[in-house]
């Protein structure tokens, strides 16, 4: 049996989830996302934000079953970091006038995604989540990380043009 440390590999850099069905784990080609860039009016329109929000809500629901003694530690931490991914993405979106500020907030979102993966591993090891749930969540965060890295590597496409 595989260990929790093996539950996910970093996804293809050109792929994210939220395909046509809108289900968690569906994949959309990043080039397709680029084509739809002109349709993106808000951070909420980004597939990576939608994916991060959906997985944060899934974590919220699953963490309701964590033991009461974890309320102020693991439960609080996993909920906080998963929500922070979305909050930092929203902040990054509003900082698109300055590429360095935009990238800095995306980096914060990336760090919160990785932190959430650590808490997922703890939840599995403590048997608060079963291994399959942990793999699914961890894998989704790999896709979120892939989307964030794509935004960072292509940040110049998202910066607000000052000359407009």
With cut-offs at 50, 70 and 90, classify the pLDDT of residue 116: very high
Options 3.40.50.10780, 3.30.200.20, 1.20.1440.60, 3.30.530.20; which CATH number does 43-157 get? 1.20.1440.60
Query: In the predicted model, what is the mean pLDDT of the chain?
Result: 84
The pLDDT of residue 28 is: 52
Residue 24 has phi, psi (to 5 degrees) of -60, 130
Following CA atoms 155, 158, 159, 161 in sequence, which dihedral angle do they give, to the nearest 10 degrees? 140
Q: What is the pLDDT averaged over residues 25-40?
A: 59
Q: How far apart are CA 100 and CA 19, in angstroms?
A: 30
Backbone angles phi, psi at 15, to 5 degrees: -130, 145
Average pLDDT over residues 7-18: 35
Across the range 102-112, mean pLDDT stands at: 98
User: What's the confidence (pLDDT) of residue 31?
Assistant: 61
Whether residue 2 has pLDDT greater than 70? no
* DSSP sequence for the chain: ---GGGS--PPPTTEES--TT--TT--EEHHHHHHGGGG--SGGGSHHHHHHHHHHHHHHHHHTTS-GGGTTTHHHHHHHHHHHHHHHHHHHHHTTTSHHHHHHHHHHHHHHHHHHHHHHHHHHHTTSS-HHHHHHHHHHHHHHHHHHHHHHHTGGGTSPPTT-
**pLDDT value at residue 18:** 37
Per cent of the chain over pLDDT 70 is 75
């Amino acid at each position: 049996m595989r260990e929790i440390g093996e539950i996910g590999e970093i996804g293809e850099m050109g792929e994210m989830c939220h395909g046509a069905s809108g289900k968690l784990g569906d994949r959309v080609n990043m080039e397709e996302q680029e084509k739809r860039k002109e349709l993106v009016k808000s951070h909420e329109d980004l597939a990576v934000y939608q994916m991060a929000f959906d997985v944060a809500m899934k974590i919220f629901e699953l963490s309701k079953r964590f033991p009461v003694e974890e309320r102020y530690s693991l439960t609080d931490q996993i909920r906080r970091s998963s929500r922070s991914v979305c909050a930092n993405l929203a902040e990054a979106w509003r900082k698109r006038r300055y590429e360095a500020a935009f990238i800095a907030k995306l980096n914060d979102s990336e760090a919160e995604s990785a932190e959430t993966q650590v808490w997922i591993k703890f939840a599995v090891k403590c048997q608060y989540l079963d291994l399959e749930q942990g793999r699914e969540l961890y894998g989704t965060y790999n896709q979120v990380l892939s989307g964030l890295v794509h935004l960072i590597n292509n940040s110049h496409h998202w910066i607000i043009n000052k000359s407009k």
